[in-house]
Amino acid sequence: MATQAYFDWNATAPLRPQAKAAVTAALETTGNPSSVHASGRAARRLVEDARDKVAALVGATRREVVFTSGGTEANALALSPALGDSLLASAIEHPSVRSGGRFAAVEDVPVTAAGVVDLLALENLLKGRTRPLVSLMLANNETGVIQPVAEAAALVHAAGGLLHIDAVQGPGRIACDFKALGADLMTLSAHKIGGPQGVGALIVRDGLTLDALIRGGGQERSARAGTENVAGIAGFGAAAEAVRQEFAAETARMAGLRDELEAGIKAVAAKAIIFGAESPRLPNTTLFSVPGMKAETAVIAFDLEGVAVSSGAACSSGKVAPSHVLAAMGVVPELAGGAIRVSLGYATTSECVGIILKAWAKLAKGLYKAGKHQEIAA
Ligand code: PLP
């Protein structure tokens, strides 16, 4: 069955119509942005116009935007020993941060059971360091829990260090002001906001010099060599502009639908656990589980009903590993193994929520039949 209700926006958001139009128009433009002739200048205008729009989305200046091939590359570009003597990152970061970039090792900053980075632990870990680089996410991609990055920035700066924020899941969902967050570096990804896949940006505070990951021509003021992905960047710019314009209305609407969804999950299974529910969360993300449910099976059951969700478990080389995020929060494997992530976006409607809740009722019925009544019902 084709997908009727798409609930995997934290994995990738459908392309916004404005982004699609910008990509198409850019693909019809011939010219290398570095060429001096009129065609080159037309391509350059597309890139620079998008730079302005991405900068405006996060309250940065155009000089602070370095386009990359996505969030993963932006994280790798930021995490360089040129910017710090040691790397500290929270235990719930995306694998592209957990892998440490160009650092040989990453030290974990723990999170609380509520999925929030432990600021006291961070303060202690910073003691005695001369030039630490700290990487924290603005909001977690699995739980949606918002992290206290502005408070962390104050601690990191007091310790003489720099703060990198992976803000990939933030724009369009919560306020994402580069200056207000106090970050030195900030990662963005186009496809999480309705732009195309394979393009992103690293926002770099004015005055900070990056250690380029890809060297060659002097593109992106020598921070990232290679002919720019003009169409991708143009699409990113268009998506950024749409997000900025629609932010207030979209977040309020998503929060309403999310609440409707969570009430519906609990109506069928009163004992369902919503991870991070006691913390400030993105208005579009619900990660839930019931004991005894298997996430892999549940994802397939939802898919058969035309509903796209994802599991909180990472699957690599054929083995399903429990989510490192839930493990860091101290969630027992029995519960973590059933975690289902439902994420919403600008095109999610109340009708979509109705479809997923119908599928959930069917799935829960199966669990009741399998004798799980005690685990699920009140
Ligand atoms: N950081 C976070 C928090 C993410 O959720 C993702 C994507 O899943 C990334 C980084 C990687 O971004 P990209 O897919 O653009 O490489």
27 phi and psi, to 5 degrees? -65, -25
Question: Residue 370's pLDDT band (boundaries 50, 70, 90)?
Answer: confident
Tell me the three-class secondary structure of 325-367, residue by residue. HHHHCCCCHHHHCCCEEEECCCCCCHHHHHHHHHHHHHHHHHH
Question: Which residue type does 93 have?
Answer: E
CA distance 92 to 80: 20
CA distance 302 to 332: 24
CA angle 298, 299, 303 (to 5 degrees): 115
* pLDDT exceeds 80 at position 371: no
User: What is the torsion angle, in degrees rounded to the nearest 10, for the CA atoms of residue 264, residue 270, residue 274 and residue 278?
Assistant: 110
Residue nearest to atom 14 of ligand 1 (CA): 71
Cα–Cα distance list, 97 to 88, 203, 291 (Å): 10, 16, 30
pLDDT for residue 318: 54
Quick: pLDDT tens for 61-94.
999 999 999 999 999 999 999 999 999 999 999 9
How far away, in angstroms, is 78 Cα from ligand 1 center?
14
* pLDDT exceeds 80 at position 312: no
Question: Residue 321's pLDDT band (boundaries 50, 70, 90)?
Answer: confident
User: Is 325 in contact with 140 (CB distance < 8 Å)?
Assistant: yes
pLDDT for residue 315: 55
β-strands 319-321, 314-316 pairing:
antiparallel
In sequence order, what are the residues at sequence separation of 6 or more whose Cβ sits closer than 8 angstroms to the Cβ of residue 250? 172, 243, 346
Q: Which atom of ligand 1 is nearest to the CA of 191?
A: 15
Quick: pLDDT tens for 283-297.
999 999 998 899 999
CA distance 211 to 298: 44
Going by C-alpha positions, the residue among 254, 177, 252, 193 that lies closest to residue 10 is 193
Question: Residue 316's pLDDT band (boundaries 50, 70, 90)?
Answer: low
CA distance 335 to 356: 21
Quick: pLDDT tens for 92-135.
999 999 999 999 999 999 999 999 999 999 999 999 999 999 99
Which of 286-295, 329-338, 368-377 has the least mean pLDDT? Answer: 368-377
In sequence order, what are the residues at sequence separation of 6 or more whose Cβ sits closer than 8 angstroms to the Cβ of residue 319? none
Question: Residue 14's pLDDT band (boundaries 50, 70, 90)?
Answer: very high
Mean pLDDT value of segment 277-281: 98
How far away, in angstroms, is 21 Cα from ligand 1 center?
24
CA distance 78 to 93: 14
Using only C-alpha atoms, the chain has a radius of gyration, in whole angstroms, of: 21
Quick: pLDDT tens for 149-196.
999 999 999 999 999 999 999 999 999 999 999 999 999 999 999 999
Q: 3-state DSSP helix/strand/coil percent for the chain, to nearest 5?
A: 40, 15, 40
42 phi and psi, to 5 degrees? -65, -45
Residue 74, SS3? helix
Question: Which residue type does 264 have?
Answer: G
CA distance 341 to 262: 12
β-strands 162-166, 185-189 pairing:
parallel
User: Is 204 in contact with 223 (CB distance < 8 Å)?
Assistant: yes
State the CB neighbour count (10 A cutoff) for residue 368: 14
Structure tokens at 129: 């360091």
CA distance 60 to 227: 23
How far away, in angstroms, is 71 Cα from ligand 1 center?
5
pLDDT for residue 67: 98
Mean pLDDT of the chain: 95
Pocket test for ligand 1, best of 79, 186, 189, 202 (most atoms within 8 A of CB): 189
Strand partners, 340: 288, 311
User: Is 133 in contact with 161 (CB distance < 8 Å)?
Assistant: yes
Q: Catalytic residue positions? A: 315
How far away, in angstroms, is 300 Cα from ligand 1 center?
23
Residue nearest to atom 13 of ligand 1 (CA): 71
- Of all residues in the chain, what percent carry a pLDDT higher than 70? 97
* pLDDT exceeds 90 at position 35: yes
The pTM score is 0.97
In sequence order, what are the residues at sequence separation of 6 or more whose Cβ sits closer than 8 angstroms to the Cβ of residue 318? none
Pocket test for ligand 1, best of 141, 229, 285, 323 (most atoms within 8 A of CB): 141
In sequence order, what are the residues at sequence separation of 6 or more whose Cβ sits closer than 8 angstroms to the Cβ of residue 284? 9, 10, 144, 173, 254, 258, 343, 344, 345, 348
